[in-house]
Structure 1
């Protein structure tokens, strides 16, 4: 049976009609409009907004909220932002069983947590419904993810990630310039203090001794930074220093292929190798090492974030990323630990 999300011809493998990317995007214009507002107008997280759209498409398909996306597009940004926050509560409840048990133990109710969604759906959609039909909801969100969102929003995701990278680089440049200004002021102050002391101790100062100008110190810092970048390009940077350590939630298995596809879609061709935890055939890997390509080592900070720990959502499953640190500095005498 054809999906109600788009015409049957799109789902019929025997059809001779080929749907182009432009035609597919045109069919999902309203969905792309709402996703663009979440990411570009409201500056919400790209991955969270992607998952929110999957959730909304499932609500439409399952008749809990017919035409909810078109309805949200017609409303002001403040209302859309508030609804997106309520969807975040629903997604957290759906994929985090521990949060769900704590949530209902605290006697939280729908009127206080999702009042807007409750009103939009006429009371048909509730948080307890998510908890009771968790399996159906997860399957529905995953179907929206694979059938629609991955294709309809891929170009928008790439644009958003590129803009975020450009913003991050701009912030890093501003910080570097500010640090150089502080260094220059510090050197000027030090020189001024030194001259003041010499004037007090020496009535007739000797001929001035050559002192490197402030500009030389700034150039030195720039040369050191350039030297470090050259060393990285020449292969001096060890593999451990460009390795990301990934941890997975127990009960939500993730494959190496899912890791590679997600991070390649998100950051480009940056992966040199992925080493999953070695487990028995019936067990789930709980962690992995992802080695960045040498020329992409500078993107480590973007992946692990300024806090050196970042969270991603791969196919609805949470993944934590941090910089890999070798626990045993002598691998020749013992095995490597994650």
Structure 2
């Protein structure tokens, strides 16, 4: 398989690049926010809303700006730790009209962690490769902010203000020669059905707590979750017991990020009952995460 050139990569993503250019150059939107908006739209295409960006490119700049604002409201919904969303479900009227399919903030709340991982993977595997020259033009120096049709041919490491993002982490232009990329590398082409290859065990880990005075065994926990969600557990670690020997917490690594959302069902904490014993499950968060 012949190596890919940067021109081929940019040609394949011509429409995505045009929309991103209009966001950051024509509309002068924040680069970091615009990267997340593009990653969100491209992830949206991968699940159940095909050709979303292709439909955007034909719209006027003010309309694209309005769609971007709607995307930002969705990203902010993903950042919220509480369970509050509008009673109406948080309608996204423009996106609904464009795709002729109802969609709301409630939909993304139900798929919160699936969306976070998917958007993060698109951001670093796709956006970091296809928008490099535009970002270099925009951020490379203080004197390159006037509109021009040409971009510098030599890139240097970029720091995009706004990253690391508290939810989506770092944004790094990969230190790789495009000429060495294989045309079959799935990270380059957008026609993947899933971006979850980048999900870590931390992404897929749940933190479980148990009621004091009601001991829960490892076998009971395994039975509870496999009965409901099938063969979903990769690893279950029961925590240390207290002075009475009772285990009060556990960490559970799942096979798929989607199961995290199924368990939480849009909530911050899910509550289960097993033979009169209560089990609480929430998303595990590393203490040293930045």
TM-score using structure 2 length: 0.50
Structure with the bigger RCO (C-alpha within 8 Å, sep 6+) is 2
Larger Rg: 1
